[in-house]
Amino acid sequence: MSGAMFGKVLIAARGEIALRVARTCRELGIRTVAVYSTADRQTAVVDFADEAVHIGPPTARRSYLNAAAIIEAAHATGAEAIHPGYGFLAEDPDFAEICEANDVRFIGPPAHVLAALGEKSRARDIMAAAGLPVLGSGAGGSQAGPPDQLREEAAAVGYPLIIKPSAGGGGKGLTVVRGAADLLTAYAHARSTAQAIFGDARVYLEPYLDRARHVEVQVLADQHGNVIHLGTRDCSVQRRNQKLIEEAPAPAVSADVLEAMTGASVHASRAVGYQGAGTFEFLLDEQGNFFFIEINCRIQVEHPVTEMVTGVEIVREQLRAAAGLPLSVGQHDVSVRGVSIECRINAEDPRRGFAPAPGRLTEFHCPGGPFTRVDTHGRPGLTITPDYDSLLAKVVVWAPDRAQAVSRMDRALSEFRASGPGLATTTDFLRGVLASQPFRNAEHTTALVDQLRAERSAA
């Protein structure tokens, strides 16, 4: 790379992350191109970007997953690079290769790194070879074998176990199996779900930890061999294995474990030749042992909490790394101050098992006040469609300590207003999680949401 910053970037994403990337580009003097489907014609990033190109109908495969249309938009507008956000094509090695073949820079890891780490069971083997602790042996991989073979593999892993899509990510398509009687049905369901969501039926088996913490490490790497970490995040509050509340740094984790976890992430990043922003995800058991589960080769939804406690602007560093510039910070520059919490506001109804509850926003009001940030594409009149992810907004706060951060978040959520015909949000449910004793005491695990829902049902 020449080491010169891009003049124009196309943003191949939608929703709040598209607007967030566009804002950083504007601060850097980079012109932006938004792409949008018919359903997103009235969204905020279309108005904010310097240019906007319609790329297809609402169906994602004919718009945001349409690589040909996106490359054509980049060429037509003179965009030198494409930022894929955190969904759709963000971790697609084929798309990264297509960008390279068309002389457009993909803002993310090289295609060969995406190919190696995007297949989850293979990524786990690579990380195990790099010295990271992993759960189980990765049985049950590429194709469905005879039932007796599957039973043997499951017995070797042990129950309860979890079936994961090899091509998956974002907590989607996971299936928990608690006994041998349910194995064959669950395995068939997991494969069909993986095929439907990811276009790839391959799955693998891992031991399942009922009471685990979900802790992750943010890394940044450039093309000059510089690799740093930005500390940890706790993402244990989840529904359907997908995150609802995140915070940085991860609370109630010993200094020794934190040092081992962050050091292992940096070491593994160097070993695979990583570039850009990435997140190493771990499970932390009740004894303080941590296990690698996957690496997300993109910016994460929850990146704002890391920015709030470190002052490092992650999208800016992504752009620098992709342009061939060195990171603007070294490990010695990174210090973690205070506590930041993020709550995801989804257009879902917690009373109906978090079923999607889209609709037209007739009222939309975001909280303000000290150390309060809202990343959103919402505004009055916007229709939240059922075509895409239900994320509406991310409310993020910072405070000097965790107790103040929890209090500030509760205050911020009390100010949040989003309503309209048919629309429901997770706002009140999130306030209930914040008020729960396990969360306030930093004793919560990935089982917390199910525990709270069971308590409410029994009340």
Q: Can you read off the two tokens belonging to residue 366?
A: 């975001």
Instruction: Calculate ∠ Cα 238-280-277, nearest 5°.
Output: 110
Prior bond of 400 cis (ω within 30°): no
DSSP 37-91: EGGGTTSHHHHHSSEEEEEE-SSGGGTTT-HHHHHHHHHHHT-SEEE-TTSTTTT
For the beta carbon of residue 26, count every other beta carbon within 10 angstroms.
14
Pairing of strands 359-360, 372-376: unpaired
N- to C-terminal Cα distance for the chain?
A: 61
Using CB atoms within 10 Å of the CB of residue 283, give its burial: 0 to 12 exposed, 13 to 18 middle, 19+ buried. Answer: buried
Using CB atoms within 10 Å of the CB of residue 408, give its burial: 0 to 12 exposed, 13 to 18 middle, 19+ buried. Answer: buried
- Tell me the backbone φ, ψ of residue 313, rounded to 5 degrees: -90, 105
Contact 274, 327 (CB under 8 A): no
> Of these residues, 14, 31, 233, 298, which one is catalytic?
298
Q: Can you read off the two tokens belonging to residue 434?
A: 């914040």
Q: Known catalytic residue: 440?
A: no
Using CB atoms within 10 Å of the CB of residue 120, give its burial: 0 to 12 exposed, 13 to 18 middle, 19+ buried. Answer: buried
Contact 358, 386 (CB under 8 A): yes
CA dist 388 to 64, 244, 274, Å? 10, 17, 29
Q: Can you read off the two tokens belonging to residue 389?
A: 């992810």
Q: Can you read off the two tokens belonging to residue 369?
A: 């006040």
In angstroms, the CA 21 to CA 303 distance is 12
Prior bond of 249 cis (ω within 30°): yes
Contact 71, 12 (CB under 8 A): no
CA dist 42 to 46, 48, 59, 268, 348, Å? 7, 11, 16, 42, 21
Instruction: Calculate ∠ Cα 36-99-30, nearest 5°.
Output: 60
Show which residues are catalytic.
298
